[in-house]
Structure 1
Amino acid sequence: MKKILVLGILTILFSACSDFIDEDNRSNETAESFYTTASGFETLVNANYAQLKEIYGGDAYVFCAGTDLYAVGSGRGSEPDGLSQYTQLNSSSVDVDQLYTSCYRAINSANTALYYSDLTEKTINLNQLVGEIKYLRANAYFLLVQTYGGVGILKDFLDSPVLSFNRDSAEDVYKLIITDLEESLNAVTSGSYVGRVNKKAVQHLLAKVHLTRAYESFADANDFATAASYADEAIAGQSLTIPFDELWKPGNELNNETVFSVQYSTASASTDPENLGHKQANWYGPYLGGSENAGNAGWRSYTLLATDFALSLFTEEDERYKATFMTEAFMRYYDAFDVDDTSGLEVRHYYAPQWATPADITAYALEHPEAQIHEWGTYAAGVVSSDYQTIPAKKFDDPKAPFQDDSRVSTRDIILSRLGETYLIAAEAYLNTNKATGLARLNAVRNRAGLTTPLADYDIDIVLDERARELFGEYHRWFDLKRTGKLVERASMYNYLVDAANFNGANGELKILRPIPQSALDLNQNKDFPQNAAYQ
């Protein structure tokens, strides 16, 4: 058995999942007897899905902070300095261990299920369940290798702590990820997505893995072409037909463009709403008021606000702007979701878009004398903020969530993969193999958004700009910039808190990879696990 430490975490963590992924922890049975039954093994598989909530359900900084699209409001709120500004980024920085810990928990959970898959009752769907587990393990390793580089590969079931472990190369981690996903692809169902891994989800992730590896020094010569092929297989001729605002209507998360998501339900979270929900709705907009506003507005922080650059990417024709941002905030914030015709409602704040002329603003003020007018250039991240002074992003709002300060109370599904991104993965991959086909994929995304004049050419910056418009807030941006080698350039150019010099690390290395958490290094008794070079 390869000796790997999983931060002392060697048990399966059971938490509530969606209505169709229910768990049944029978404490009066031993694992050996329970998990070797069909129902017991199903419980073990469901526990693997539940681990997604720990990876994605908490703070969003590791996915979004320190990029070109999001920054803290000046003078209000705080983000972890290391992840958001890079000046204090080290092995003990706040949240630098978030993915390391949660992903190894998921990996250990997957390895436990794979171990019992050889012992459990042989059922008609056993192979499919094993395929689902391998997808989930691959996803965890993919997050790790993008974030930290090479990490320890753990494939064995561990039932006791192991305190001596080695570090594997990023190249070997990618090989494991691709092997797991290829085996998953041959095992999972080809049916529609109903909350469990299917072939489209695997194809999407395989496309993204090959696309990401294509930028590495150890890339396979065919990675871009393979990424494009898998993306097209996942698209399978399916067009982008759902209006963008409908994609993000609360309760519509399981639409036919959703490829894979973290499943939640209000009922299962109701027993402990502050811990069993998630925090995606907590970001991307201003603080909306205290507990006295319970029922009228959700809890928000002044962190991960949209930058001027992020807002400037949209044009008047782009339907994604009003679907993503709350251009008008009413006296009761959630009336934007609960009232079909809002034309008669009293407007509290109006955020004039970039294309609004002085005449437009004057006319709006006459029509809505009660509204506070925020002119373009005055409401992005970096302003001295008070309530509503920065534009709210409404994309992830959950009108059903109870008001709880900084808590995990949203029960909307977290969308991890969707068809619009599959098109953009194809466009990026084809940029290096067949630009004409890639351009068609890119223009399909733009056309759905109302941008009917097709682009005649494109480059990686155009792809990144399109990803920003299409995927704002969807937990991809840091990985996008890191993958394409644009992190330093774009963060320092468009994030008012980041200077290019902030990335300068030890040994002449840039702080691109995050540091291996100090807690993991301290627990390694053989002291033979090297830190990433920029932090030595």
Structure 2
Amino acid sequence: MKSVKSIIYIIVLGIGMTSCSGFLDEENLGNTTAQNYYGSQAGYEGLVNAAYATLRDVYQPTPYVFCAGTDLFFNAHAEVPIGLASYQTLTPGNSQVEYLFKTLYQSIQIANMALSYSDQTEPFTDLETRIAEVRTIRAFYYFLLVQNFGDVTLVTDLISEPIVTFERDPASEVYDFIISELSATIGVLPESQADFGRVTKRVAQHILAKVYLTRGYDTTNGGSAADFTEAAALADAAIGGQSLSLSFDEIFEYQNDNNEEVLWSIQYADASTQNSPAHNWDYAWGPLVQGSNDGVNKKNALHPTEYLFTLFEDNDTRFEGTFLNIKTNPYTGYLLNPDNSPVAYYYPRTAQQLADTTAWRAASPMRSETIISPIDGHWWDVLNQVDFPALKKFDRVQLPDIRYTHDLYLARLGETYLIAAEAYLHAGNAGEAVNRVNEVRRRAAAPGTEASMEVASVDLDFILEERARELAGEGLRWLDLKRTGKLMEYTKVRNPDIKSINDAGTDPFLGANGNYKILRPIPLSAIALDAGDYPQNPAYE
């Protein structure tokens, strides 16, 4: 971990991000001491903003640790860490796992600092709300830690002097802490906030619903059937009667990041990315696009699997909301000048699209030279670098005159409905599970096909299919498969990297002493810095 002195130094220099709404503006604090500055409302607000800014640090890298090694994407480039992509060579030296572990604990210490100073700052109207916001962010980080690493160290106070050894607290105690923290903040946080992007009661309810849902599967760490009932009730509370009224495409529409279905997001704006890094979540999905006039830098690194490309029904508009079914020249022409950008490729996939290609081409002079590339095996061929639909959810624009970074969504209403569905299913209320799934599917339906998209029954496999269709590329799939115990089952069939190893007679998940690589390894750097005997996860011993 960083020393407390270095953490204070970074915060004083102003790591707080500038959001679209302006509530996280950077401020130069000069030579003011931390004690004096954080004693004022303005100073304490800056410290809270620093806790929000750590979200950028956690999610800034190319999202291999969140998205590789699932049934939705496979490794198509040498820069993807092979250990994350196919598990066999995943070791405690993996740099992406180390970054996640280290950055989460650094971020927790900044949250601990904000909480430590909360009883030293001057009283102001929003102080209790700000404290609840920071506690929610910290609980969210511990939820990421316990899901990825299992037993982890609970550090709930600001570290003000060197500590040379830590103990790993049981995952059951970590879950108890997270639940206690979020339950407390729900009673304090407002229903809404003037600044888009701040934590609200609905955000905490969404997170806590997922915590209960996750623990419900983990009976060895305190989970029980009652957790699913709690998760369903909390998810419904977070939904708050709000329907899914936007089209799926609108959720990720250019410059529509602050839309009504986003409960919580990491916000980005041009001014805020001048001195701090933007995320790299648009880069890895390909196809290869690196022209100076294209406004993007993409590489075919995490390639969609055949399973993902073929998962969508003809009437499901989430395919076109997730993937770019045209490729314009330049690439960002589809965002910035769609009426006047030549279409280089068109990717039809439904029966109607395949039948109407002649009419489609004739509809615009921008399509006269278009290569029509219908769905077949070349879409998911690992050697195909340029000719397949791009995952577009988080496309950025990087041009001299336009700098735009799409926000990253940490909680949105479509997922809240699916959390409720999964929880109701396991709580024994299949009817309510179907109702929540159908709300999501009706929104996804092409106009006039809503009734045909409804289903009469669901099981866990179907809900996970819905989560794939709704949430592909949003950094949740590994956690979904790990939570439900489906990680090995699904990837050994649907991920070609993992399937080839398994079909050759080697189980890529099998680690030391017969243990499976379901959790991430504790980084070697953390173990080496501990003066005691900090235990490794069993599969990596």
- TM-score, length-normalised on structure 1? 0.91
- What's the CA shift for 1:363? 6.6
Q: Which of 251, 255, 259 matches 1:247? A: 251
CA, structure 1 residues 338+43, in 2 after alignment: closer, same or farther (shift >3 Å)?
same
Correspondence for 2:86: 85
Q: In 2, Cα distance between the equivalents of 1:358 and 1:57?
A: 39
Find 2:434's aligned residue among 439, 449, 455. 439
Question: 1:144 maps to which residue?
Answer: 145
CA drift at 1:335: 1.9
User: Do the aligned partners of 1:295 and 1:402 also contact (CA within 8 Å) in 2?
Assistant: no
Post-superposition Cα deviations, 1:250-292, rounded to whole Å, max 9, x if no partner, equal 11111111100011111222x34xx421111112221113xxx
Structure 1 pair 236/213, CA: closer, same or farther in 2 (3 Å)? Answer: same
Q: Write the letter of the residue equivalent to 1:32.
A: Q
**Which of the numbers 205, 214, 217 marks the counterpart of 2:216?**
214
**Does the alignment pair 1:515 with 2:521?**
yes
Which residue in the other structure is 2:508 paired with? 502
Using the TM superposition, give the Cα deviation of residue 375 of structure 1 relative to its aligned residue in structure 2, in angstroms: 3.2
Q: Per the alignment, do residues 352 and 108 of structure 1 end up closer, same or farther by CA in structure 2, a change over 3 Å counting? A: same
Distance in 1 between the 2:485 and 2:272 partners? 41
1:70 to 66, 70, 73: 73
Paired with 1:36 and 1:479, the residues of 2 have a C-alpha distance of: 39
Q: What SS does the aligned partner of 2:344 have?
A: strand
* 1:196 pairs with one of 192, 198, 204: 198
Q: What is residue 260 of structure 1 aligned with on the other side? A: 264
Give 1:366-405 correspondences, 5 Å limit. 368=367, 370-386=369-385, 388-400=386-398
Q: Which residue of 1 aligns with 2:407?
A: 413
Which residue of the partner structure matches residue 534 of structure 1? 539
Distance 1:191 1:370 in 2: 49
The 3-state SS of whatever aligns with 2:217 is coil
Q: Distance in 2 between matches of 1:202 and 1:358?
A: 45
Say which structure is richer in helix.
2
SS of the equivalent of 1:120 reads coil
TM-fit CA distance, 1:389: 2.1
Task: Give the 3 Å change call, closer, same or farther, for CA 169–7 of structure 1 in structure 2.
Answer: farther
Separation of aligned partners in 1, 2:231 and 2:81 = 34
Could you list the runs of 5+ residues in structure 1 that have no partner in the other structure? 1-5
Q: In 2 relative to 1, CA 87–403 (structure 1 residues): closer, same or farther, beyond 3 Å?
A: farther
1:337-357 Cα shifts (integer Å, max 9, x gaps) = 123546xx5321122315468
CA contact (8 A) 1:298 1:403 kept: no
Change (3 A) 1:336 1:533: same
Q: 2:511 and 2:63 mapped to 1: Cα distance?
A: 24
Q: Give 3-state SS (helix, strand or coil) of 2:375's partner.
A: coil
- Corresponding residue of 2:481: 481
Partner of 1:46: 49
Superposed CA RMSD in Å reads 2.2
* 1:341-392 CA distance string (max 9 Å, x none): 46xx532112231546875557767885622232322343443133x22321
Q: Kindly state the Cα deviation for residue 221 of structure 1 after the two structures are TM-superposed.
A: 3.6
Task: Assess, with a 3 A threshold, how the Cα gap between structure 1 residues 401 and 460 changes in structure 2: closer, same or farther.
Answer: farther
- Deviations along 1:55-82, one digit per CA (max 9) or x if unpaired, are 1121201111000001133xx4431011
Deviation string, structure 1 residues 149-205 (Cα, Å, up to 9, x no partner): 010110111123322111101001111111111111122111257110011101100
The code of the aligned residue for 2:480 comes to D
Structure 1 residue identity aligned to 2:118: S
Alignment of 1:86-485 (within 5 A): 86-192=87-193, 194-217=196-219, 218-269=222-273, 271-272=274-275, 275-289=276-290, 293-339=291-337, 341=339, 345-353=341-349, 355=351, 359-360=355-356, 368=367, 370-386=369-385, 388-400=386-398, 411-433=405-427, 434-450=429-445, 451-453=450-452, 454-485=454-485
Range with bigger deviation, 465-474 or 16-25: 16-25
In the TM superposition, residue 145 of structure 1 has moved relative to its aligned partner by 0.3
Change (3 A) 1:354 1:304: farther
Distance in 1, matches of 2:67 and 2:109, equals: 26
Q: CA deviation at 1:322?
A: 1.1
Cross-structure match for 1:3? none
Q: Tell me the secondary structure at the aligned position of residue 503 of structure 1.
A: coil
What do the CA deviations read for 1:45-64 (whole angstroms, capped 9, x no partner)?
A: 00000000001121201111
CA distance in 1, matches of 2:89, 2:381: 20
CA distance in 2, matches of 1:354, 1:503: 36
Aligned partners of 1:305 and 1:380 also within 8 Å: no
Distance in 2 of aligned mates of 1:403 and 1:480: 39
- Report the more deviating stretch, 11-20 or 315-324: 11-20
**Count of residues paired in the alignment:** 515
1:11-31 alpha-carbon deviations (Å, 9 max, x no partner): 154423312212334241111
Provide the secondary structure at the position in 1 that maps to 2:256. Answer: coil
Contact 1:277 1:410 (C-alpha < 8 Å) held by counterparts = no
Distance 1:412 1:440, change over 3 A: same
CA deviation string 1:402-426 (max 9, x = no partner): 699xxxx852211110000000000
Q: Is the 8 A contact 1:294 1:403 kept in 2?
A: no
- Tell me the amino acid that sits aligned with residue 246 of structure 1: E
Is contact 1:328-1:351 (8 Å) kept? yes
Counterpart secondary structure, 2:272: helix
How far, CA to CA, are the matches of 1:200 and 1:435 in structure 2?
Answer: 24
Measure the CA separation in 2 of the matches of 1:358 and 1:264. 38
What is the CA deviation profile of residues 484-521 of structure 1, one whole-angstrom value per residue up to 9, with x for unaligned ones? 10001111111110134100111211100000000000
Q: Which amino acid aligns with 2:371?
A: Q
Aligned counterpart, 1:20 = 23
Where do 5+ consecutive residues of structure 2 fail to align? Answer: none
> Are the structure 2 counterparts of residues 513 and 355 from structure 1 closer, same or farther at C-alpha, using a change threshold of 3 Å?
farther
* Cα distance in 1 for residues equivalent to 2:161 and 2:350: 59
For each residue in 1:292-338, what CA deviation from the matched residue of structure 2 results, as whole angstroms up to 9, or x when unmatched? x2232410121122111101111221111111111111222222112
SS at match of 2:53: helix
Q: 1:11 aligns with which of 7, 11, 17?
A: 7
- For residues 23-42 of structure 1, the C-alpha deviation after alignment (integer angstroms, 9 at most, x for no partner) is 33424111111111111111
Give the Cα separation in 2 of the matches to 1:477 and 1:400: 28
C-alpha distance in structure 2 between counterparts of 1:382 and 1:222, whole Å? 45
Moved over 4 A (4+): 7-10, 356-369, 400-404
SS in 2 for 1:281: coil
Q: Is contact 2:268-2:405 (8 Å) kept?
A: yes
SS in 1 for 2:265: strand
SS class of match (2:245): coil
Q: Is residue 240–residue 448 contact of structure 1 (8 Å, CA) maintained in 2? A: yes
